[in-house]
């Protein structure tokens, strides 16, 4: 990696931690009900809705609330798309979205995935973008946030039957965390040149005398929560590679920062809630170490360039005149460093926004984002989803350590017993199952193979990436796969739905069982979970358990393609 790339990474991480620390304090106060102004403003809402904010519930009722809430969200987004042609704020007169695409998109935005089989500016009117997709960006992020808060309450409470009031938590996460941050960020993006209007599309004449249609729309307001909520669904088809959605290098940097901001802050919230801030730092340290490793790998492979072009005598070396490396599919405005960093950030988190085409990355450069998703997106991860995924791995790490030293495993004073390990097993296995079975189904059926653009190993990578992205709720696309077909819309829709709730269910079940346990004091024999040894153990567990499931599939895709490319 070059000097500027290291500098960019250092500034990024330094600023991230500086911003996440105070935000964690605010999130902790809001979710614990210590935000006095908020409580006063909430009171009439509770009265209107007939909710007793002090009445908390067990995990099953908490989950039921989430399922009803998300089910209604799915129904609303589906209905808006299907009735788009008769709804206002549709200046381009787009017709109703097809049922299979509407099904896929409704699940996608409910599950915080934002996989997009459609092209935003050629499919969705402004009302659907604002009332359907943007609203769901807030609500799906709030869902992830409240699940992790419930899990952390499981650790911090003892002998308790309740893990919180789902309606109170969802309201506070949306209104006092996500909305204010999104408002500030949207204003910043407008200052950078991101558009925000309800105009019909403009017709422009190019310098060559041709005609060009310029898509318009309320982009900034959707962009802010797209990043902060780790949603990632672009207003435009080109996502954050579009100049109206990512106009400047500063906007690009802030977009990356926004993706990681809440997931990083939640690590500190975790430390605060369990009464030992070192625990939050330990989890964050594991995330940072893995993140830096993947940034170095992706940037190095992209900077290495393409051997086929090298054989043709193309100069791909970095110099004062050019960035060098593999520039296919990258914005000249951002180059290798900002594109590779963005790709790693967006797939480490469950965002899925892109500022470059991952399909055009070198085989191993493209494998880096794919592997990050396959780890379960626990390296910062999605809002809430990243931390609860990492805590699942932390429980597994203490269990493995317990087996090695022959003691009953315990994490944060809570004994890890058979039930917790069963829940961990479900949470860890559900996504690889969806990815691998889904990929196998796609490459062995005519309908699945019909969507593949490139034959051979690269085509396999396109399918594997799509299933990986869907089941892990990332939403980024490798491109090259024609996925807006009934087959892929249904297959990926199911992968997104079960990938989301197949993990949330065991996590909340664990929250319930942990909350009911006594919290034992640490003794000399307790494995410390705040030091470098545990950080190393946690990283090892994530890499081994997360990655081993996918090694054969990766060998058939990106690894085979790399060997074929470099053997020429």
In this structure, the strands spanning 211-214 and 202-205 are antiparallel
d(CA 338, CA 118): 26
User: Residue by residue, what is the 3-state secondary structure of 146-157?
Assistant: HHHHHHHHHHHC
CB of 491 to another protein, least distance (A): 12
| Consecutive H or E run containing 77 | helix 59-82
Residue number, 75 or 249, with CB nearest to another protein: 75
d(CA 462, CA 473): 16
Residue number, 117 or 217, with CB nearest to another protein: 117
Residue number, 109 or 253, with CB nearest to another protein: 109
CB of 62 to another protein, least distance (A): 9
DSSP secondary structure code for residue 230 in this structure: T
Residue number, 166 or 257, with CB nearest to another protein: 166
d(CA 333, CA 336): 10
Contact 143, 70 (CB under 8 A): yes
Place of tokens 């290495």: 304
d(CA 174, CA 165): 14
Contact 356, 334 (CB under 8 A): yes
CB of 128 to another protein, least distance (A): 16
d(CA 2, CA 15): 20
d(CA 45, CA 11): 42
Residue 538 exposure: Cα atoms within 13 Å on the Cβ side: 31
| Consecutive H or E run containing 10 | helix 3-31
Residue number, 381 or 502, with CB nearest to another protein: 502
Q: At what angle do helices 363-374 and 532-548 cross, to 10 degrees?
A: 110
Residue number, 177 or 516, with CB nearest to another protein: 516
Residue number, 196 or 485, with CB nearest to another protein: 485
CB of 116 to another protein, least distance (A): 17
Residue number, 336 or 507, with CB nearest to another protein: 507
Residue number, 123 or 355, with CB nearest to another protein: 123
Residue number, 79 or 556, with CB nearest to another protein: 79
Please name which of 277, 512, 282, 491 lies closest in space to residue 393, comparing C-alpha atoms. 282
Residue number, 424 or 527, with CB nearest to another protein: 424
User: Residue by residue, what is the 3-state secondary structure of 241-268?
Assistant: HCCCCCCCHHHHHHHHHHHHHHHHHHHH
In this structure, the strands spanning 211-214 and 410-411 are unpaired
Cα–Cα separations (whole angstroms), residue 22 to 28, 42, 261, 268, 290: 10, 23, 11, 9, 24
| Consecutive H or E run containing 62 | helix 59-82
Q: Is 319 left (phi over 0), alpha (psi -120 to 50) or beta?
A: beta
Residue number, 78 or 294, with CB nearest to another protein: 78
d(CA 125, CA 216): 11
Contact 475, 137 (CB under 8 A): no
Backbone angles phi, psi at 196, to 5 degrees: -150, 90
Tokens of 489: 């819309």
CB of 417 to another protein, least distance (A): 8
Residue number, 170 or 178, with CB nearest to another protein: 170
CB of 38 to another protein, least distance (A): 24
CB of 441 to another protein, least distance (A): 16
Q: Residues in the site for another protein, rule: CB under 8 A?
A: 56-61, 63-64, 67, 71, 74-75, 78, 82, 99-100, 102-103, 106-107, 161-162, 417-419, 422-423, 426, 490, 494, 497-498, 501-502, 505-506, 508-509, 512-513, 516
Backbone angles phi, psi at 57, to 5 degrees: -130, 170
Residue number, 68 or 183, with CB nearest to another protein: 68
CB of 19 to another protein, least distance (A): 35
Non-local CB neighbours of 314 within 8 Å, separated by 6+ positions? none
CB of 86 to another protein, least distance (A): 15
| Consecutive H or E run containing 204 | strand 202-205
CB of 355 to another protein, least distance (A): 32
CB of 102 to another protein, least distance (A): 7
CB of 64 to another protein, least distance (A): 8
CB of 433 to another protein, least distance (A): 13
CB of 69 to another protein, least distance (A): 12
């Amino acid at each position: 990696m070059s000097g500027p790339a290291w500098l960019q990474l250092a500034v990024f991480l330094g600023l991230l931690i500086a911003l996440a620390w105070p935000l964690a304090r605010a999130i902790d106060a809001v979710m614990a009900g210590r935000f006095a102004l908020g409580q006063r403003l909430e009171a009439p809402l509770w009265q209107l809705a007939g909710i007793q904010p002090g009445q908390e519930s067990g995990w099953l009722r908490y989950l039921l609330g989430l399922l009803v809430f998300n089910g209604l969200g799915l129904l609303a987004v589906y209905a808006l798309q299907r009735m788009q042609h008769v709804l206002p704020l549709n200046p381009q007169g787009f017709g109703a979205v097809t049922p299979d695409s509407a099904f896929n998109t409704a699940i996608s935005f409910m599950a915080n995935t934002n996989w997009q089989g459609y092209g935003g500016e050629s499919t969705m009117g402004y009302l659907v973008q604002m009332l359907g997709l943007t609203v769901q960006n807030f609500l799906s992020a709030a869902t992830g946030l409240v699940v992790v808060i419930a899990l952390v309450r499981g650790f911090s409470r003892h002998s308790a039957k309740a893990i919180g009031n789902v309606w109170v938590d969802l309201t506070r996460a949306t209104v006092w965390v996500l909305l204010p941050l999104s408002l500030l960020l949207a204003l910043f993006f407008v200052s950078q040149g991101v558009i925000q209007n309800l105009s019909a599309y403009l017709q422009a004449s190019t310098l060559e005398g041709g005609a060009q249609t310029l898509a318009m729309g309320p982009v900034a307001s959707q962009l802010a929560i797209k990043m902060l909520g780790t949603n990632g669904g672009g207003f435009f088809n080109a996502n954050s590679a579009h100049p109206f959605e990512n106009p400047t290098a500063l906007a690009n940097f802030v977009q990356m920062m926004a993706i990681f901001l809440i997931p990083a802050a939640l690590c500190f919230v975790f430390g605060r809630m369990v009464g030992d801030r070192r625990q939050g730092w330990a989890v964050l340290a594991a995330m940072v170490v893995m993140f830096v490793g993947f940034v170095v790998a992706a940037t190095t492979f992209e900077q290495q360039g393409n051997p086929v072009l090298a054989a043709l005598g193309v100069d791909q070396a970095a110099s004062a005149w050019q960035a060098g490396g593999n520039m296919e599919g990258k914005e000249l405005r951002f180059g290798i460093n900002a594109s590779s960093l963005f790709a790693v950030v967006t797939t480490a988190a469950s965002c899925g926004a892109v500022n470059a085409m991952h399909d055009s990355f070198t085989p191993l450069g493209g494998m880096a984002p794919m592997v990050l998703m396959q780890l379960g997106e626990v390296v910062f991860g999605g809002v809430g989803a990243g931390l609860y995924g990492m805590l699942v791995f932390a429980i597994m790490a203490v269990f493995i350590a317990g087996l090695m030293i022959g003691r009953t495993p315990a994490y944060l004073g809570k004994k890890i017993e058979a039930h917790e390990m069963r829940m961990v097993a479900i949470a860890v296995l559900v996504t690889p199952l969806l990815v691998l079975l889904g990929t196998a189904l796609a490459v062995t059926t005519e309908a699945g193979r019909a969507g593949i653009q490139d034959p051979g190993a690269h085509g396999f990578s396109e399918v594997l990436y799509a299933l990986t992205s869907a089941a892990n709720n990332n939403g980024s696309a490798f491109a090259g796969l024609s996925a807006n077909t009934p087959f892929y819309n249904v297959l990926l829709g199911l992968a997104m739905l079960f990938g989301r709730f197949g993990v949330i269910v065991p996590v909340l079940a664990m929250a319930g069982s942990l909350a009911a346990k006594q919290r034992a004091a640490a003794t000399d024999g307790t494995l410390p979970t705040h030091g470098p040894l545990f950080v190393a153990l946690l990283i090892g567990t994530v890499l081994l358990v997360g990655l081993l499931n996918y090694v054969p599939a990766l060998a058939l895709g990106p690894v085979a393609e790399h060997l074929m490319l470099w053997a020429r």
